[in-house]
Structure 1
Amino acid sequence: MGLFDHKTGVANDGGDTGADGTGTHGKRSGMASLANEDFSVIDAIGGPRGVLESVLPGVVFVVLFVATRDLHLTVMVAAALAVIQVIVRLLQRQSAMGALAGVFAVAICLVWAWFSHDARNYYLPGFLVNSFWIVVLAISLIVRIPGIGALVEFVRNPVTERPRAWLAAWRDDKPLLRAYMIVTGLWIAVFAARLGVQIPMYLTNHVGWLGTARLIMGVPMFAAAIWVTWLIIATPLHRHRLAEAAAKQE
């Protein structure tokens, strides 16, 4: 789905996106949707189908394991479900790239759980990915090139040459830079909250509660966080767009 896919524990989720981060209706989803002038939370989370495809393997995994305590059966059913999602898209002649990316992400989690013989390890890759983004975004704040801002600006205006000029074009806009710094800090807090809540459950072997927390802190938390992100950056980004348009007309 583009950057930040919480199928792997990162920020966004959904299956209605292709490899280019655009949805089935040509609209960007995930974090890339913040670059849309007509931003929509529904589009950002991949639409109803994207949400369903995203959460279903996780729901099946936690419910089936809690009910049966049979890890091998649980892994096989969850894997089969993920594959069926891709097959259905192919039969409907829709783009399967987003679903394939989701299958790959789910497969990593399932393989980890299978070979470790521990259902908790289905969630371990997500911890690693969340930790990775905390570090990356924190470094981006330290060097004052906020990661969320860099992503949005790259989607709006991909840099192919003169990267310094590209950086200066948006970093010199102080209100916009400030907004990007704030929302980058917000996403660090989102990832940290996931780890702070879920790792204790992992360590105490509460698989059912861990799965529930993972689902709640997946699509719902992502939707809330990306909406707040848009509220913070919308005004300075709109003004920046107007300034760009005025400069081009001169």
Structure 2
Amino acid sequence: MWQSRRVTDRQEQSILEQLGGVSGLVYSTLPILVFVPINSIWGLTAAIWGALGVAAAVLVWRVVAKGAIQPAISGFLGVGVCAFIAYRTGDAKGYFLFGIYTSLAYAGVFLLSILLRWPLVGVLWGFLNGHGNSWRGSRAAIRAYDLATAAWALVFGARYLVQSQLYDTDHTGWLAVSRIAMGWPLTALVLVATVWLVRRADRAAEALVEAGADAETEPEAGVESDDRGAQSNGSGDERS
């Protein structure tokens, strides 16, 4: 049991590493912090180059520090897409358009997975820990994964509703504030809730496996006792 907990902890740490760690979540806000003030002072073109420059600097820093590269590359590509949309729309608020509709898509996917009875958190966690879909045999595990998946759907849905409203009302500055406030702090919070629920689901799945193992051994024990009884009866008949 202790070894299982250690394996779970290592897997949870690997998830955070795939997100870039705590520093990676913080670094993801730097291009936004640069984009908005530069746009208000020097205009959209300078803001675009500023955001791209910061994202490139973070990528180089990750390479030099030998940190997680994948999140930095994904972050740089994400900034590139946002900058391209802002350039094409000719408006600074266009920088946030990609994130707004990405949040809507994620919320829809997480919610749909719950309705289909295949909560996405459970599917992803089963893939990461190598247990596959064995958790689907436990109702308690399914409920825990439903709650974890619903938490992520709620976060992404809230991001879309708040930021789309700010986009429609041309509040670019508040868009940046909401992007940061509903970004890594909210992600860290829902990640903590997810870890707690995943542990509950793992315990429920382990209990199901142990119950199945006990059920398999009980008939064998019964057969052995019957055999012993038959042997004793046979010996009794021989004595008589």
- Provide the aligned C-alpha RMSD in A: 2.7
Instruction: Tell me if 1:57 matches 2:31.
Output: yes
TM norm structure 2: 0.76
Q: Please state which structure has a larger fraction of its residues in helix.
A: 2
2:23 & 2:87 partners in 1: Cα distance?
28
Q: Which of the residues 5, 19, 36 maps onto 2:8?
A: 36
Q: Give ranges in structure 2 of 5+ residues lacking alignment.
A: 1-6, 218-240
Q: 1:110 aligns with which of 83, 98, 107?
A: 83
The residue aligned with 1:238 is 203
Give 1:151 shift: 0.9
- Greater Cα radius of gyration, structure 1 or 2: 2
Contact conserved, 1:41 with 1:223, CA < 8 A, in 2?
A: no
**Greater than 6 Å deviation, 4+ residue runs:** 245-250
Describe how 1:171-210 pairs up with structure 2 within 5 A: 171-210=136-175
Higher relative contact order (CA 8 A, sep 6+): 1
Looking at structure 2, the residues matched to 52 and 182 of structure 1 have their Cα atoms a distance apart, in angstroms, of 26
SS in 1 for 2:29: helix
TM score, norm. by length of structure 1? 0.73
Deviation at 1:115, TM superposition (A): 1.7
Contact 1:41 1:226 in 2 (8 A): no
Confirm or deny that 1:85 pairs with 2:58. Answer: yes
Corresponding residue pairs, total: 207
Question: Secondary structure of 1:194's partner?
Answer: helix
Quick one: structure 1 residues 242 and 96, their matched pair in 2 at CA, closer, same or farther if it must change by over 3 Å?
same
CA distance in 2, matches of 1:234, 1:118: 45
Q: Tell me which amino acid in the other structure corresponds to 1:234.
A: R
Question: C-alpha distance in 2, partners of 1:180/1:48?
Answer: 24
Note closer, same or farther for the CA distance 1:95–1:42 as it changes in structure 2 (3 Å cut).
Answer: closer
Task: Quote the sequence identity (%).
Answer: 28
The equivalences for 1:23-172 within 5 A come to 36-37=8-9, 39=12, 43=16, 46-66=20-40, 68=41, 70-157=43-130, 166-167=132-133, 169-172=134-137
Deviates more, 1:91-100 or 1:47-56: 91-100
Asked whether the equivalents of residues 187 and 225 of structure 1 are also in contact (C-alpha less than 8 Å), the reply is yes
In 1, the alpha carbon distance for the partners of 2:148 and 2:94 equals 30
